[in-house]
């Protein structure tokens, strides 16, 4: 038998499925978004216009997750778009994980819609791992109303690759002996950790499939992809992965907040207010987790999509809005070329444990003193859309 049995559970078209279930079950809508070309997408009027999830019928029009909504509408003019509801997705994600937890405590949530499960012990009493996976798949569908793919293998990498095989609502295995038949014929961009840059390099070497990578000399891969990355891709192509399912989540290494502005920003006064908004979010998250940061980075994207960062290391750790904001302003002043800004971001790293803070009378008084500032911030949020959680209204801006 195998040393380990790992499942990878992946919700099919997560945001769209969850949206469809909610609209059907809670709002009582008769139309099921999953049966028509539809997608969850951002607010075009705020320049957050990308596809976040698409239905299976939309997939037939070659609509890709992450692509601009305008491009998707060109491919399918009748595409039904709905705005995202992240609170709903968090709830759905939790429901799924609660259900999975009944099968094993050894769960590693990998993203809002994916999880690894170490099922090595949990398969006892079942005919096969496949049998258990099918049962979980059915139960999620019956109790939660959406479908999942489950990949089964002896490590996380292979389980993940397996869950990506035919969708939706399916269980697949990819055991080591199945690698040549099931994984090696796939186009190399489907290998985990082969992104845009790596696939270009690999195609340049004349490779097309994952199997082509597997047959390559490790040192050639390292020379062209870098030492670590080359080794990683080589290992992945061979199905080698010894990493364990981590059921306890590791602490964050950084906290950041960035936003694409609904209009380009051309002056410091506005930019600094947006930096205040971003700094406030970041610092309150630091405080909520009892952390302080020693490194602050400001990130900008200009109107031509040029991306730049500028960072500084502080003399002592902080988690106050003020220090983070002042530092961010100083950084922006030091490196902004003056080109109109499309995106602004604040990121904090080099974290240390701080003290948990509580809102006290002083904080409340301070808040009152800042009433005028808050009004200015609200004004900026309205004009530049930094308050991303607000209702999405891009349907209004649709030209008839």
Partner DNA sequence: TGTTGAATCCCAC
Partner DNA sequence: CTAACGGTGGGATTCAACA
DSSP code, position 26: I
Catalytic residue among 67, 114, 143, 190: 114
**Contact status: 372 vs DNA (CB under 7 A):** no
- Of 108, 114, 118, 241, the residue at the interface with DNA (CB under 7 A) is 114
- Contact between 346 and 299 under an 8 Å Cβ cutoff? The reply is yes
| Element housing 216 (H / E) | none
Q: Are 355 and 379 in contact (CB under 8 A)?
A: no
CA 310 to chain CA centroid, nearest Å:
24
- Dmax over CA atoms of the chain, in Å, equals 68
Between 248 and 287, how does the x/- string for binding to DNA read (CB under 7 A)? ----xxxxxxxxx------------------------x--
SS3 category, 42: coil
Residue 32 near residue 384, CB atoms below 8 Å: no
Helix (H) or strand (E) holding 11: strand 6-11
Nearest one of 289, 348, 358, 352 to 323, comparing CA atoms? 348
Q: Does 161 bind DNA (CB under 7 A)?
A: no
Stretch that binds DNA, among 19-27, 63-71, 123-131, 374-382 (CB under 7 A): 63-71
**287 half-sphere exposure, CB direction, 13 A CA radius:** 14
Q: Between 128 and 313, name the residue whose CB sits nearer to DNA.
A: 313
Q: In whole angstroms, how close is the CB of 124 to DNA at the nearest point?
A: 29
Would you say 35 or 397 has its CB closer to DNA? 397
* Phi/psi-derived region of residue 78, left when phi > 0, alpha when psi is between -120 and 50, beta in every other case: alpha
Site membership for DNA, residue 37 (CB under 7 A)? no
Span interacting with DNA, options 18-26, 141-149, 169-177, 304-312, rule CB under 7 A: 304-312
Give yes or no for residue 160 binding DNA (CB under 7 A): yes
Indicate if 334 belongs to the active site: no
With binding defined as CB under 7 A, does residue 83 bind DNA?
Answer: no
Q: How far is the CB of 245 from DNA (least distance, A)?
A: 15
Residue 309 binds DNA, judged by CB under 7 A: yes
Cβ atoms < 10 Å from Cβ of 164: 17
- Report in angstroms how near the CB of residue 212 gets to DNA at its nearest: 16
- Contact set with DNA (CB under 7 A): 42, 44, 47-50, 52, 66, 68-71, 74, 110-114, 160, 192-199, 226-229, 252-260, 285, 295, 297, 305, 307-313, 335, 342-343, 345, 347, 388
């Amino acid at each position: 038998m195998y040393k380990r049995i790992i499942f990878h559970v992946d919700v099919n078209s997560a945001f769209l499925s969850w949206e469809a279930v909610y609209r059907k079950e809670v709002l009582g809508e008769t139309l099921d978004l999953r049966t028509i070309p539809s997608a969850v997408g951002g607010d075009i009027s705020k320049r957050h216009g990308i596809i976040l999830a698409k239905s299976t019928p939309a997939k037939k029009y070659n609509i890709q997750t992450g692509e601009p909504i305008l491009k998707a509408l060109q491919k399918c003019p009748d595409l039904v778009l709905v705005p995202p509801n992240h609170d709903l997705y968090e709830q759905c994600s939790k429901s799924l994980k609660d259900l999975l937890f009944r099968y094993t405590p050894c769960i590693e949530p990998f993203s809002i819609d994916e999880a690894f499960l170490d099922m090595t012990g949990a398969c006892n009493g079942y005919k096969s791992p496949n049998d258990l996976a099918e049962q979980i798949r059915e139960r999620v569908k019956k109790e939660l109303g959406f479908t999942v793919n489950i990949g089964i293998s002896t490590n996380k990498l292979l389980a993940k690759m397996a869950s990506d095989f035919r969708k939706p609502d399916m269980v697949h295995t990819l055991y080591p002996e199945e690698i040549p038949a099931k994984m090696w014929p796939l186009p190399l961009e489907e290998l985990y950790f082969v992104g845009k840059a790596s696939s270009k390099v690999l195609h340049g070497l004349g490779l097309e499939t994952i199997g082509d990578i597997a047959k390559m000399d490790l040192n050639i891969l390292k020379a062209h992809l870098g030492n670590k990355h080359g080794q990683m891709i080589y290992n992945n192509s061979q199905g080698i992965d010894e990493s364990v399912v981590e059921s306890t989540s590791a602490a964050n290494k950084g906290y950041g907040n960035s936003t694409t502005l609904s209009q380009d920003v051309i002056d410091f006064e506005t930019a600094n207010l947006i930096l205040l908004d971003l700094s406030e979010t970041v610092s309150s998250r630091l405080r909520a987790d009892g952390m302080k940061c020693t490194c602050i980075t400001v990130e900008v994207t200009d109107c031509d999509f040029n991306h730049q960062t500028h960072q500084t290391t502080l003399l002592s750790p902080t988690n106050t809005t003020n220090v983070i904001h002042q530092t961010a302003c100083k950084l922006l002043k030091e490196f902004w070329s003056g080109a109109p800004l499309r995106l602004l971001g604040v990121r904090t790293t080099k974290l240390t444990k701080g003290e948990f803070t509580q809102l006290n009378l002083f904080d409340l008084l301070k808040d009152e003193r800042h009433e005028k500032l808050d009004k200015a911030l609200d004004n900026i949020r309205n004009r530049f859309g930094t308050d991303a959680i607000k209702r999405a209204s891009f349907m209004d801006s649709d030209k008839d």
